[in-house]
Amino acid sequence: MSDPLDALKARVTAATLGATVEERGTVAAIADGLANVTGLPGAQLNEIVTFSTGARGFVMTLAKDGLHVALLDPMAGVTAGSAVTRSGRIASVPVGEALLGRVLDPLGRPLDGAPAPAAARTLPAERPAPAIIERDFVSETVETGILVVDALFAIGRGQRELIIGERQTGKTSIAVDTIVNQAAKAGGGLICVYVAIGQRMSAVRRVIEAVRTRGDPSRSIFVVAEATAEPGLQWLAPFSATSIAEWFRDRGDHVLIVYDDLTKHAATHRELALLSRQPPGREAYPGDIFYLHARLLERSAKMSKAQGGGSLTALPIAEIEAGNLSAYIPTNLISISDGQIVTSQSLFAANQRPAVDVGLSVSRVGGKAQWGAMKAVAGRLRLAYMQYLEMKMFSRFGGFGDAAMKTRMKRGERIEALLSQPRLAPLPLIVQIALLAGLAEGLFDDVDPTRLAALQAGLTARIAGEPRLAALAADLSALDDAQRAALLDVVRAALGPAGPG
């Protein structure tokens, strides 16, 4: 018979002893969506904490005097002295196929009235960027359907191309047109994630409506933290949206993410930093603002074959004031990205749509991703257009007598007309190539520029019906002489008897 004391001893030695300590914190101060919390020594950066009202927040900074917690829910009822508990979880977001077609907040909560998506898993909002060896060179094109971009500033898959300009100059429209154009691609274009940060709800609705009616909503995801959302949500939005996009990237898909816009994100970061009494730096932004956006945009990448070969292309949007590209946030963002498309108030006022400043815009890696057939027809376009703009400026002081000058002016006016494009009217690449081939051949020199827009519509069907162009339509990697001749025939036919040839 065993001794009951021995049995007890055995049980005691077998038991794993460990105290369960629940850390309890207290709100020391709270204002404008940021709480100072004391008494949670074990809390980690980005950890979710819960207030006594059930409202949640995440740890933004670990300071000497406690934690700075950005609220993710309305702060009503939370006051100095309220209790705070740790969750042990890092701020994260549900990801997966089920998010396609949805409008969600940065925590994955539905904003479209439908039930919460059945997520494959959750991912932390902040994740490390892919390492160099996990990446590949940017080599495939992102088709925007916007001629001025595809011809002059081609964007490659995995690239980060900033869209920057004054307010109301068509920045969002360039991104939305790119999203809409993905629907035109047989077999589906890029999966698109649009992130609204600090935008008016009416503007966000306009974007969603455009994609729903003209694009492919079943391959798009909207992550929305509008202007009235808690600063913590606005702060988190680009990071959690990137995690949503990365889930697709890492299974080999090609993904586009639009951050609309990072100027507002920077302002939210500044606001939270000032509330948490971080020392203000240049233009009152805290010193880490560069690092904040650098680590966000580093997550866009073209993945290597071993990593599935997917890609994440970023179109961050930024607003500038009075054309000032050299302000603090714009220069930061320009240096973090691989080029910029600059929109301008003066071009917008002069009725150019899209109002892209061809002189200031650049795409640093996209050239390598541009299709050979496009390269063959777009090579000298930028120079010819820039020369025309210069001549146009000087011609205001008196006309040109020179016949050669007149021809170049004429050609320039046609380039200008071709670079104009209404919203939500993306052009297939092969149509763009046909137009540029026609331009280079001088087919439009005697055509009224206002007629060129109507020409574009007719070209798509004619190209599809031309057997000599079937191979080119399937593969744009090069343009041979026979194909160029076929393109020119199609353009001549579309011009009709009124045109030349």
399 forms part of the interface with ligand ATP (CB under 6 A): no
- Round to whole Å and give the CA distance between 195 and 235: 11
Q: Report the Cα 357 to chain-centroid distance in Å.
A: 19
- Round to whole Å and give the CA distance between 490 and 423: 25
* Residue (212 or 353) nearer to ligand ATP, CB: 353
- Round to whole Å and give the CA distance between 23 and 15: 24
Residue 268's binding partner among Mg ion, ligand ATP, none (Cβ under 5 to 8 angstroms by kind) is: none
Q: Work out the burial of residue 111: count CB atoms within 10 Å of its CB; fewer than 13 is exposed, 13-18 middle, 19 or more buried.
A: middle
In the complex, residue closest to Mg ion by CB: 172
Q: Work out the burial of residue 378: count CB atoms within 10 Å of its CB; fewer than 13 is exposed, 13-18 middle, 19 or more buried.
A: buried
Residue from 319, 338, 357, 441 touching ligand ATP (CB under 6 A): that is 319
344 forms part of the interface with Mg ion (CB under 5 A): no
169 forms part of the interface with Mg ion (CB under 5 A): no
Residue 338: which of 305, 302, 307 has the closest Cα?
A: 302
172 forms part of the interface with Mg ion (CB under 5 A): yes
Q: Choose the stretch contacting Mg ion; rule: CB under 5 A; options: 63-71, 72-80, 105-113, 166-174.
A: 166-174
Residue 167's binding partner among Mg ion, ligand ATP, none (Cβ under 5 to 8 angstroms by kind) is: ligand ATP
Q: List the catalytic residue out of 205, 206, 353, 364.
A: 364
Residue 109 CB, shortest distance to ligand ATP, in Å, is 25
- Kindly state the helix (H) or strand (E) to which residue 67 belongs, with its residue range: strand 66-71
352 forms part of the interface with ligand ATP (CB under 6 A): no
- Is-contact 222 191, C-beta < 8 A? no
The interaxial angle of helices 231-249 and 262-275, nearest 10 deg, is: 130
Residue 173 CB, shortest distance to Mg ion, in Å, is 8
- Round to whole Å and give the CA distance between 125 and 127: 6
Site residues for ligand ATP, 142-201, by CB under 6 A, read 165, 167-173
353 forms part of the interface with ligand ATP (CB under 6 A): yes
343 forms part of the interface with Mg ion (CB under 5 A): no
Asked if 364 is an active-site residue, the reply is: yes
- Pair of tokens at residue 445: 């020199």
346 forms part of the interface with ligand ATP (CB under 6 A): no
Say how many C-beta atoms besides its own lie within 10 A of residue 356's C-beta.
26
* Residue (57 or 354) nearer to ligand ATP, CB: 354
Residue numbers at the binding site for Mg ion (CB under 5 A) = 172
Residue numbers at the binding site for ligand ATP (CB under 6 A) = 165, 167-173, 319, 353-354, 421-423
Active site residues: 364
